[in-house]
A and B are shown apart, each in its own frame.
Chain A
Amino acid sequence: MSNNEGVIYRISGPVVTATGIDARMYEVVRVGHEKLMGEVIEIHGEQSVIQVYEDTSGIRPGEPVLSTGQTLSVQLGPGLLTSIYDGIQRPLQTLEEVMGVFITRGVDADGLDLEKKWDFVATASAGDEVVGGQIIGTVQETETITHKIMVPPKASGTIKNIDSGEFTVTETVCTLDDGTEIQMMQEWPVRHPRPYTQKYAPDTPLVTGMRILDFLFPLAKGGAAGIPGPFGSGKTVTQQSLAKYSDAQLVVYIGCGERGNEMTEVLDEFPGLIDPNTGKPLMNRTVMIANTSNMPVAAREASVYTGITIAEYFRDQGYDVALMADSTSRWAEAMREISSRLEEMPGEEGYPAYLSSRLAEFYERAGRVETLNGDDGSVTVIGAVSPPGGDISEPVSQGTLRIVKVFWGLDAGLARKRHFPAINWLNSYSLYPQSLNQWFRDNIASDFPEVRTEISALLKVEAELQEIVQLVGSDALPIDQQLTLEVARMIREYFLQQNGFDPVDAYSGVEQQYAMAKAILTFQDEAKKAMAAGARLQDVVNVPARTELMRARFAEGYLESIGGLVDDMVGEITGTVEAN
């Protein structure tokens, strides 16, 4: 006979020890008279160790602890989109209504609005055989996203009854012949990956509109990327650009242990932003989770799981979902804090020994899959990492790099030079080009991979030449190498730098990226030709049409005009031969 009520034995910050309950690991319990939410994270004989998601000041030994029999779960169904949650899926708007502007404790709130009626359209009919994950109806949740209602993963049978109409998320919309009632809302434990049929190899890029990412270091839909960088190098701006412009159908944005004002900025800005892929407000496709640095640390630990479970749920409906976690270092620190309260034997730098396996498990929930109903869906994970002092030899960066296939390394030096995005092109990498090359050849240009190789080779050569220039000055280099430096400067200033705040330049389609890269190579070829025929480097570099070509990227319709601008440039460069 299990006992579901015990008492508190010890309190140390967010960690509470209780006796007298027979709890299971990761079961949710209610702690103290105020019924604070907590989760069992360790069991020692009679004692259950609980991490509490709210502040524990004022709680005493001897207060009651109730077990709920549930593990930490999220509510999934219509109403998720456009929401903003804390780390344990409590809507911040509801919390404001109940608590006022400061977050107090002991308030429970449903993740979904249980009162709201949604217009359910049945797509299956009575008599249909259904299995877990199968879509039985739809709800037009926002203008751009159709929420597909699925049979819960473990249910299956023949539909006895199904009705279209107005329902709340807890009303039964469908009954199976074995008596199973299906509602629009499902609950799912956050620490368990949702099931799928099989994982595919990614073959489509997640187009982000950022030239350095798409062109040089592409990320695949269903892939995982890490963005480490010291403070001030633009991690958050990069993450936000990805949330705004990437061509995922849905975005889950987790602000994990970050600045409150920054989350507010996102909240203020997103509703007014238009998705370049659909022309509709961005908020329509976004779910946000905000657990700022001063909110309870245990809820910060849970926030990434809450986020990825929501992402998987939409993946199961056949969507391409992108998840941004800013920052995974804060998540790791939350683990470290809890672990130290448990007096666990630490691994590197005080982090728990299971840090790297937790990171791996999390990133492994990314992927492109065949869903239970045979659709194709994906979750792409992009995790920011905040290494202390910008030194990526630390455990969180290293644990991340071991598992992700894309590394976008932010660089304080570039940020200081106001080179944005401050992604270092020399140490960043992507392991996806091989699997994505076919897509680029088919959809953009047959020589796309070759152009990419040429551009990145030029940047590498530049880095070597710069070392010499530092010593002897650029005038001492042979003229062809001086040209290489000019071409590389063009790559950096015209191609790699991108103004995230400029309405036009912020988003650059892959076709345009390719055209710009080709324009650079054309400049190189023409300049070589002209100089072989006697033109001076200075004259070639300073042709006004080249400046015009570069500047025009801030004007609308650049993709259409670029061909003409390149022709002008070629004409003028040829002209420098005659002028000489």
Chain B
Amino acid sequence: MTSKEYKTITDIKGPLVFLEKTEPVAYGEIVTIRLSDGSMKNGQVLDTSDDAVIVQVFEGTEAIDRQAGVKFLGDVFKLPVSRDLVGRILDGAGRPRDGGPDIVAEEKADIIGAAINPYSRQSPHDFIQTGVSAIDCCTTLVRGQKLPIFSASGLPHNDIALQIARQAKLKDSDEEFIVVFCAMGITAEEYNFFRTDLERTGALENAVLFVNLADDPAVERLITPRLALTAAEYLAFEHDYHVLVIYTDMTNYCDSLRQIGAAREEVPGRRGYPGYMYTDLAMLYERAGIVKGKKGSITQFPILTMPGDDITHPIPDLSGYITEGQIVISRELHQAGIYPPINVLPSLSRLMGGCIGEKTTRDDHKKVSDQMYAAYAEGRELRGLVAIVGEDALNERDLQLLKFSDIFEDKFLRQDRDEDRTIDETLDLCWNLMSSIDEKYLVRLDRELIDKYGQHTE
């Protein structure tokens, strides 16, 4: 469709351009804007009527004037997808960033993505071994799950995400994941860290990167994750790949959402974020899963930094209501020099129940995990008491639990950045560590399991 160029801009405000006297323009239609110096910008229709059209400009409205020419391209935003995406690095709007050729499309996919019919989903139940004990034992990751990392500034969430990307595999299988990496507003330094690591391990050949950095247009961030997920869906459901989508940092995404809302003078919700942020986030997170009749899967690993370490902030809060659990990174553990500083107590994997046990991991997994958790939780609580009354006031049981909480952090949580523990190693380690507690206090384990795996010395 050859389209007319309009020079009818009335207002320009923040990332938005308002224009009038157009022919009927479709909601969501893609727009190009030609500036007086000949350079081009892209945008999308946010609101359309007979009288006025509002366009959101991805690259920001800098240098746009009322003489700029606006063209409507007659189509909604689509990403050219092909098997050749694998191994490529693209920018936040889907253009090559690695100096390579344009993607030759096998098809063009609408980036908004349709909802998966709940009836057509298949329940996720395949255990993913990440090689990280705290995750495998206590907040097990499942293929098709969306499990975010709740972190905060200054914490090593990137290392953890990369370690998982490197090590994640199905138990007893070498089948690898395709990693779709989506950067939203991260620094060039952080990006280089990811890229170098993926290059070093050779994972880059099996990855697609969509990169919007801190100095790239903020509005573009709103489409970057949609591009990444569209690529992921194509690879998973058309080419049978198991795709692991890592996106960082969701907080920057939400801030862009807020920016657009403010420019449109919308009624803000909590902390100025728009009232539809829940729906908007759901339209990203819900694109994880497995569907009946397709071999591939999409597992999501979003990273978000909690402003002020506050888990009740709207971004982690709304995410937690949508995702199937969360892995919480703790500043306290990080400061104690423990890597990975995962606080298992507030962490949770909602899909864990269905994917652990005799057939998938090991018969003792559930009970071991419960017992480790309970003992550690109680040990940590006792630390508070000891600070007031001193260790002398503790009875024998409490002393053992108190000591166990240290052992737990030092031996169980702590591992090297390239240490890849199998689930058997992790569970054996648990039994070994629990042998520091008298059997009679391990009330969540039953006799049978203690006889089979227990490492208590007589």
Binding site for B on A (CB under 8 A): 9-13, 17, 55-63, 84, 92-93, 95-96, 99-104, 230-232, 255, 257, 259-265, 267-268, 290, 292-295, 297, 330, 333-334, 336-337, 340, 346, 349-350, 386, 388-391, 416-418, 473, 475, 501
Contact = CB atoms under 8 A, between A and B. Distances in A.
A340 B286 CA distance: 24
Contact of A340 (B275, B278, B289, B312): B275
A100 B121 CA distance: 11
B276 A58 contact: no
B291 A101 contact: yes
B123 A61 contact: no
A297 B24 CA distance: 25
A265 B113 CA distance: 23
B428 to A, nearest CB: 23
A93 B119 contact: yes
A202 B268 CA distance: 41
Tell which of A99, A231, A333 has the most Cβ of chain B within 10 Å.
A231
Given A58-B27, A264-B121, A267-B119, A293 B50 contact: no
Contacts of B282: 257, 292-294
Contacts of B110: 57
Nearest to A100: B120
B121 A261 contact: yes
Contacts, number: 194
Nearest to A294: B286
Given A96-B117, A96-B120, A101-B291, A17 B49 contact: yes
Given A11-B49, A261-B124, A293-B322, A336 B377 contact: no
B309 interface: no
B387 interface: no
A477 to B, nearest CB: 14
B26 A59 contact: yes
Interface stretch (B1-9, B343-351, B411-419, B447-455): B343-351
A350 B275 contact: yes
Interface stretch (B89-97, B215-223, B313-321, B400-408): B313-321
Nearest to B119: A92
Given A257-B282, A294-B282, A346-B267, A57 B117 contact: no
Interface in B153-181: none
Given A60-B26, A92-B117, A101-B291, A336 B286 contact: no
Contact of A333 (B112, B275, B311): B275
A414 to B, nearest CB: 12
Contacts of A295: 115
Nearest to A390: B312
Given A9-B49, A92-B119, 6 more contacts: A10-B48, A61-B50, A92-B120, A102-B117, A386-B321, A389-B317
Nearest to B233: A102
B20 interface: no
A10 B46 CA distance: 11
17 contacts: A10-B47, A10-B48, A11-B49, A12-B48, A60-B48, A61-B24, A61-B50, A62-B50, A92-B119, A95-B117, A255-B118, A261-B144, A264-B121, A267-B118, A297-B276, A416-B345, A475-B393
A232 B320 contact: yes
A416 B119 CA distance: 32
B270 interface: yes
Nearest to A255: B118
A350 B269 contact: yes
B10 interface: no
Given A61-B24, A340-B266, A232 B348 contact: yes
B29 interface: yes
Tell which of B29, B269, B354, B373 has the most Cβ of chain A within 10 Å.
B269
A268 B124 CA distance: 11
B324 interface: yes
Contacts of A63: 24
A416 B346 contact: yes
Contact of B267 (A93, A103, A104, A350): A350
A240 to B, nearest CB: 12
Contacts of A100: 120
B283 interface: yes
B63 interface: no
B49 A10 contact: yes
Contact of B118 (A57, A61, A92, A104): A92
Interface size class of B (residues with CB under 8 A): 35 or more
A56 B279 contact: no
B377 A473 contact: no
Contact of B48 (A61, A263, A388): A61
A34 to B, nearest CB: 12
Contacts of A103: 114-117
Contacts of B283: 293-294
B28 A58 contact: yes
Contacts of B321: 231, 386
A390 B321 CA distance: 11
Contact of B279 (A12, A93, A259, A333): A333
User: Could you tell me the dominant secondary structure of chain B's interface residues?
Assistant: mixed
Nearest to B265: A343
A401 B350 CA distance: 28
B115 A292 contact: yes
Given A101-B117, A261-B124, A261-B351, A349 B270 contact: yes
Given A265-B123, A389-B317, A418-B370, A58 B26 contact: yes
Contacts of B287: 294
B49 A290 contact: no
B24 A102 contact: no
B118 A263 contact: yes
A418 B373 contact: yes
Tell which of A57, A99, A268, A417 has the most Cβ of chain B within 10 Å.
A57
B359 interface: no
A131 B347 CA distance: 58
Contact of A231 (B145, B274, B313, B320): B320
A101 B50 contact: no
Contacts of B119: 84, 92-93, 95-96, 267, 290
A261 B348 CA distance: 16
Contacts of B113: 102
A290 B286 CA distance: 14
A417 B377 contact: yes
Interface in B265-302: 266-270, 274-276, 278-279, 282-283, 285-289, 291-294
Given A57-B27, A58-B29, A349-B270, A102 B123 contact: no
A471 to B, nearest CB: 8
B338 interface: no
A121 B181 CA distance: 61
A340 B276 CA distance: 9
A20 to B, nearest CB: 12
B232 to A, nearest CB: 14
A336 B267 CA distance: 10
B202 interface: no
A502 B159 CA distance: 38
B26 A261 contact: no
Contact of B312 (A84, A257, A391, A475): A391
A293 B278 contact: yes
Nearest to A391: B312
Contact of A260 (B46, B121, B279): B121
A390 B322 CA distance: 15
A265 B47 CA distance: 38
B25 A333 contact: no
A103 B283 CA distance: 13
A268 B47 CA distance: 41
Contacts of B26: 11, 57-60
Nearest to A551: B443
Contacts of A268: 123
B322 A259 contact: yes
Nearest to A17: B49
A250 B124 CA distance: 29
Contacts of A257: 278-279, 282
A95 B294 CA distance: 18
